[in-house]
């Protein structure tokens, strides 16, 4: 039984490492995306929208929605 417990501890440590490397802190990533979106929206208000900014906004929106989905699953 002791060996089994040790193997579970190793698996747990490996899973934590994998989670951190694969997903990171989803709450922090969501906040960063929100800040980027706000900054981009301010730039579009100031300088006007163009194709590049609209594509960037769409990309950020998709990333943000993915983080929301991950947060909901968590």
Amino acid 7: pLDDT: 94
Q: State the burial class of residue 67 (Cβ atoms within 10 Å of its Cβ: 0-12, 13-18, 19+).
A: buried
**What is the block-wise mean pLDDT of the chain (74 residues), using blocks of 10 residues?**
94 91 87 94 92 94 93 86
**Helix, strand, or coil here: 57?**
helix
Q: What pLDDT, on the 0 to 100 scale, is given for residue 36? A: 95
């Amino acid at each position: 039984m002791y060996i089994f417990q040790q193997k579970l501890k190793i698996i747990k440590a490996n899973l934590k490492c994998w989670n951190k490397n694969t997903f990171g802190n989803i709450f922090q990533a969501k906040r960063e995306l929100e800040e980027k979106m706000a900054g981009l929206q301010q730039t579009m208000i100031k300088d006007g929208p163009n194709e590049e900014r609209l594509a960037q906004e769409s990309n950020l929106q998709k990333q943000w929605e993915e983080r929301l989905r991950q947060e909901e699953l968590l």
